[in-house]
Amino acid sequence: MSQRELVVLGTASQVPTRHRNHNGYLLRWDGEGLLFDPGEGTQRQMLHAGVSATQLTRIAVTHFHGDHSLGLAGVIQRINLDRVPHPVDAYYPASGQVFFDRLRQATAFHETAELRPHPITEPGPLEAPGAPFELAAVRLSHPVDSFGYRLTEPDSTRLLPARLAELGLRGPAVGELQREGRIELDGRTVTLAEVSEVRRGQRFAFVMDTRLCPGVGELAEGADLLVAEATFLEGERQLAEDHGHLTAAQAAQAAAEAGVRTLVLTHFSQRYPDLTGHLAEARKYFDGELVVAEDLARIPVPPRN
């Protein structure tokens, strides 16, 4: 059975608090495990969440500020300590190659696993060997190079049982129709399109440190699940703009305009011990499923329509 959910490992921006670990987000997508922005403490949060290193298949870093990447060293060493049997692909801005290299070789350890680096120089599709989805990077607006990530599942075909029954199609004939795309029935050709409909693939988007820019809307467009930073509230909009961040209202407005189904707000400044303001502010603009993330929360990807 497929399992698609977001496991929130940490929700703090810049510095952790007593109740919020540094960033860390694991997207479980059937047999894939995509770890986004592992900040300090990610390895321990994985333990609390019941997530093992062997579940990781890809790591995606948006940018090389410490709260989004300092946990990378420990995660890489854990992948090797646990002898993860499959290759793990790592995505990150190419301009931060020196930081990736330092974190990868931060201390001495025995390499037993295969880590495949994919430095990103330009926005667009990313190489994702063996993935049942397309992965793309989109440029964001932050004081250092930053890329958001978008996962798109290809559309599929869903048979319409009522239409099959109406035409008297059953058993091996249905299998032949699916394989060949057409079948001869009572002197006429029946095509797959006549007895099926397109089932839209699911979409996931990850928008981290950025001010409002075209990339936010591009990532969010039609997403079933959008994870978006909401570092500040509207009262600090100028501060958000100056430091390359979003407010809860801006994230919610972008999600509403993009037709997002579920919006997850995260990456909260330590100045907000209480997040009821984030929920209230976002709800003014977004009427879909809204989650103000908490550490160790598990958020399902909405089922396909």
For position 1, what pLDDT does the model report?
A: 41
What is the distance between the alpha carbons of residues 163 and 175, in angstroms, rounded to a whole number?
15
For position 75, what pLDDT does the model report?
A: 98
Instruction: Give the tokens for residue 267.
Output: 């990456």
For position 187, what pLDDT does the model report?
A: 85
For position 47, what pLDDT does the model report?
A: 98
Q: What is the pTM of this model?
A: 0.93
From first CA to last CA, the distance across the chain in angstroms is: 17
Closest listed residue to residue 52, CA positions, set 83, 73, 22, 21: 83
Of the residues 30, 37, 67, 155, only one is catalytic, namely 67
Instruction: Give the tokens for residue 40.
Output: 């300090």
For position 272, what pLDDT does the model report?
A: 98
pLDDT averaged per 10 residues, the chain (length 305) = 88 96 97 98 98 98 98 98 98 98 97 98 98 98 98 93 89 90 89 90 98 98 98 98 98 98 98 98 98 98 88
For position 204, what pLDDT does the model report?
A: 98
For position 255, what pLDDT does the model report?
A: 98
Beta strands in the chain (DSSP E): 4-10, 24-29, 32-36, 58-60, 88-93, 115-120, 124-126, 134-139, 147-152, 156-159, 182-185, 188-191, 196-199, 203-207, 225-229, 262-266, 289-292, 298-300
Distances (CA, A) of 202 to 28, 73, 223, 288: 13, 31, 7, 16
3-state class of 38 per DSSP?
Answer: coil
For position 157, what pLDDT does the model report?
A: 87
Annotated catalytic residue 67: yes
